[in-house]
Structures are given as C-alpha cells and as structure tokens.
Amino acid sequence: MPVDYDVIISGAGPAGSFAAYSLAKQNRKVLLIDKEKFPRYKVCGGGLTHKVAQFLPFDISEVIERQIYNVVFSHQLDYQFKKRSKEPFIFCVSRDKFDAFLVRKAREAGAEFLEEQAVEGVEEKEHEVIVKTAAKAFTSHYMIGADGAMGITASSVGLMKNVLNCVAIESEMEVDPSFLEESGRTIYLDWGTMPVGYAWMFPKGDHISIGVGTSYRLSRHLRKYYRRFIIYLPVKEVRTISYKAYSIPIRQRGSKIVTKRVALAGDAAGLSDPLTGEGIYYALASGSMAAEAIDKLLKGEIQSLEYYEKRVNLEIFQDLLAVYPLMHFFNAMPGYFHNLMDTNERYFRAFIRILRGEKKYDSFRKRFGPFQFLWKAAWKFARYKENIKIQNFRFERKIGNSASNEQ
Ligand SMILES: Cc1cc2nc3c(=O)[nH]c(=O)nc-3n(C[C@H](O)[C@H](O)[C@H](O)COP(=O)(O)OP(=O)(O)OC[C@H]3O[C@@H](n4cnc5c(N)ncnc54)[C@H](O)[C@@H]3O)c2cc1C
C-alpha cells in the first residue's frame, strides 16, 4: 500500500523540528504537524545549556539573545553570592524565535510543515500509521510523537504509562532597561526555599524570564514562592508579558517509548532532567536519535524501533537516572551545598562543567568505586530526609529578606 509520507511528526518543538530536519537531510519524505501557528509562545525559561550549541550541526547565534557567564545564588531568598565563569555556560533564547528558527531549518532541508492543525488521533496498522487531523487523515510508514507534555500521540498508542510530573510557573516580564544593561550576563538561582525545586531569573534581549518549579506534591506552594522571588529580585517590573504554569514530565523506569511504528521524543517521552527541568537538549538529542533509527529501518539496516529505545536508555536515560541520588542529597541539605558552592571553587566548576556537557552526573557515583553500597546507603538516607521535609513543609512567615515586604 502506498503511503503519503515516510514519516509524520506530531509537534514542532525542538524534538519534532530537529527530527524533521534530520530525516529531510536523508531525503526522507517528512510531514511536520503542529497545532499552533508559528512563531508561537512556549512556557519555558529558554535557557540553552552550552551542550545544545555544541550538539546542533548549524550556527544558532542569530537566535541567542544573551550569553551567561555569572550566577547569583541565594539560599531561602537570602545568603546571596555571585560566581563568575570564564566561559559562557547558558545561552538565553526566546522560545517563539528559537522554535520558529528550527522549523525554518527543517523546511529548508525539505520537510513539509503543516501548522494550526492539531493531531486528533493516531492509529497504528500492520503496515502504516494513520495520523488524523480535523481537516484530513495522513498515512506514513513511521511516526514520531514529539507533541510535548500534553501530547496526544503517547496516549493514542498506549505508551508512557509511568510518568512523574513536576510543575513550573514561568513569566516573561518587561523590566527597567538599566537592569538588563547591568545584569545581561547574569542569571539568578534560588534554592532551599522549598524542599524540592528552585527559582530562576534568565535575562532575554528586551525582557526577563522568571520562574519557579517543584514536584507535583508541592505544587500548591508555587504561587507563593513565585511572588516572594519577584519581591526578592533587585528588579523593577514594568509590565508582565505572560504568566503561565506548565508541566515537566519525567519518565520513570520501564516506561515504553516505542511501538512497532511510533517513537516518542522529547517531553512526550518524559526526557527532562529531574533536578533542573532542562529538556531542550534531551528533546534535540532524542529527536535526532529517533530520526536516525527510522532512517535505518527504512534502509533495512535494523529490524525494529527497539533500537531507538535502547539508545535513548543508554545515552540519555541512564544519565538522567543518575540525577536522583544527587537530587536527594541536595534536597536534604541545600544549605550545606550552597555554602560549598560559595566557598569551594571546585563545586562551582563541577556545576559549570555539567551545564557545559563536559561532566556526567554519573561521575559522582563512579568516584565511590568498589564502595557502591556506601553511596547507595547515603542517598537512601538523604531521600528519607527529603521526604520528611516534604511532609512537614509549610512556608515560614519570614524566609529571607523578601517575606517582610510581601503584600
Ligand atoms: C516553566 C518551564 C521552564 C523550562 N525551562 C527550560 C529551560 O530553561 N531550559 C531547558 O532546556 N528546558 C526548559 N524547560 C523544558 C523544555 O521547555 C521542554 O523540555 C522542551 O520544550 C521539550 O521540547 P519538545 O519538542 O519535546 O516539546 P515542546 O517544546 O513542548 O513542543 C511540543 C509541540 O507539540 C505541539 N503539539 C502539542 N499537541 C499537539 C497536537 N495534538 N497536534 C499537533 N501539535 C501538537 C505543541 O504546539 C508544541 O509546539 C522548561 C519547561 C517548563 C515547563
């Protein structure tokens, strides 16, 4: 049976666009579908870690609005210090522009793009996939579900049954231009205020992005944390451009991301860092791996999409799983790590090297060598302490300098 396309991709975020680009570069007939009209806003801090720029095969400088060299850290909206790096470690983009740029790259490579058309259902048959939109149904040999945290593909084909959701609020704000002149190379990070999660401020070209994120269990406290963080920041708001909450899905062990003809990538596959919420790099990397696997299948070089799932497990998921012990240590004793970051340059260097993709999370575990039982016992104890903190958490009347000013 002839089909309309080799591959149909649902969702034109970083995972979908880059998968479309990669497949089109292999001369595959690709249709990329998104429910929004581009450029479109996406709830996101827009912080690209340095490894994104290293990973992409084309120059992204036209969409980078700020290069970050400095961090102002605070603990419980107090005990603030500034650290400087010689090299940039984060590039700030506006997601509407960055994502539209990636779609343009996919189209230039030869992918077809259908916007303002939501995928409403996916049906997997023996020899094809049927992708339904309100206007039309399309067929293809394979499909990539890259439709994000709320996408329809995973549930349509019975994938991703085990996901943990984190929640974040992000707002974009016009501020006094003098703040951007002074702090255009600096991000603000606050931690230890809630038992899980942190707050951030990223400068953009002509505005800032402010956000707070935490686990689903603590989500009812997020608005309060957000308000306190805004009061704490040394910045005068001129106008709020947007304010939204969104989910960050975290894949759990054993959650399938492929069927015979459908592969999930990016947020649809829950590939985000459970500690930082970083997802753009993993979206691009998984989109590229899905594209490569499907190209190999079409060439007859491999037999099944399991190849893709195995690669994701080995090259992405294993390192994301290695985050958990560190996250439990950090959440159990944020003040201790904050202090170390301030007083011991090695810890700040390790932080920068992770963001730059020069160091893997798993390297901390490996240092324990034959004494893995000690590492395991320590992080299990930290997890226990973290749980107690979560159960007993309520906002103190006064946290940091800001609470006393709160309206
Ligand atoms: C508040 C917040 C802040 C974040 N900050 C950062 C950060 O600073 N750095 C970082 O690396 N990561 C960050 N992340 C994570 C990052 O935003 C995601 O991991 C990343 O966007 C995932 O890319 P994706 O392509 O998988 O999905 P998305 O970017 O979510 O793209 C999915 C696309 O699918 C489309 N779609 C959805 N449903 C359908 C449908 N039915 N039919 C057709 N199209 C559909 C959507 O319109 C969208 O364009 C943040 C997340 C949140 C919530």
- Answer yes or no: do 63 and 109 share one domain: no
| Residue with CA at minimum distance from ligand 1 atom 3 | 44
Nearest to 23 by CA among 100, 102, 106: 106
Q: Is the pLDDT of residue 111 over 60?
A: yes
Ligand 1 geometric centre to CA of 287 (Å): 13
CA–CA gap between residue 82 and residue 272 (Å, rounded) = 27
Q: Is the pLDDT of residue 249 over 70?
A: yes
The full 3-state SS of 329-364, as one line of letters, equals HHHHCHHHHHHHHHHCHHHHHHHHHHHCCCCCCHHH
Ligand 1 geometric centre to CA of 130 (Å): 24
Ligand 1 geometric centre to CA of 148 (Å): 5
User: The pTM is what?
Assistant: 0.95
pLDDT tens digits, residue range 342-388? 999 999 999 999 888 888 888 888 878 888 888 889 889 999 999 99
| Residue with CA at minimum distance from ligand 1 atom 52 | 44
Q: Is 102 in the pocket of ligand 1 (CB under 6 A)?
A: no
Which residue, of 272, 300, 321, is where some domain finishes?
A: 321
- Answer yes or no: do 64 and 31 share one domain: no
Q: Is 147 in the pocket of ligand 1 (CB under 6 A)?
A: yes
- Answer yes or no: do 223 and 278 share one domain: no
- Answer yes or no: do 309 and 262 share one domain: yes
Residue 170 token pair: 């992000």
- Answer yes or no: do 100 and 89 share one domain: no
pLDDT tens digits, residue range 40-50? 999 999 999 99
Q: What share of the chain is helix, strand, coil (3-state, %, to 5)?
A: 40, 25, 35
- Answer yes or no: do 88 and 194 share one domain: yes
- Answer yes or no: do 279 and 388 share one domain: no
Q: Give φ, ψ of 23 to 5 degrees.
A: -70, -40
Q: Is 207 in the pocket of ligand 1 (CB under 6 A)?
A: no
At 239 the pLDDT is: 86
Q: Is 36 in the pocket of ligand 1 (CB under 6 A)?
A: yes
Residue 101 token pair: 């740029």
What's 366's domain CATH number?
3.90.660
Q: Which residue has the higher pLDDT, 377 or 238?
A: 377
- Answer yes or no: do 388 and 274 share one domain: no
Q: How buried is 158 (Cβ within 10 angstroms: 0-12 exposed, 13-18 middle, 19+ buried)?
A: exposed
pLDDT tens digits, residue range 50-97? 999 999 999 999 999 999 999 999 999 999 999 999 999 999 999 999
Which residue, of 321, 351, 368, is where some domain finishes?
A: 321
- Answer yes or no: do 87 and 169 share one domain: yes
- Answer yes or no: do 203 and 66 share one domain: yes
Our count of domains for the chain comes to 2
263: domain range?
5-43+94-159+255-321
- Answer yes or no: do 88 and 100 share one domain: no
Give yes or no for a contact between 245 and 287, defined as CB atoms under 8 angstroms apart.
Answer: no
DSSP string, 97-137: HHHHHHHHHHHHHT-EEE-S--EEEEEE-SS-EEEEESS-E
| Residue with CA at minimum distance from ligand 1 atom 53 | 246
Ligand 1 geometric centre to CA of 169 (Å): 14
pLDDT tens digits, residue range 155-173? 999 998 888 999 999 999 9
Which residue, of 321, 346, 379, is where some domain finishes?
A: 321
Task: Name the residue of 42, 143, 250 to mutate for ligand 1: max ligand atoms within 8 A of Cβ.
Answer: 42
- Answer yes or no: do 37 and 176 share one domain: no
Confidence band, pLDDT 50/70/90 cuts, at residue 405: very low
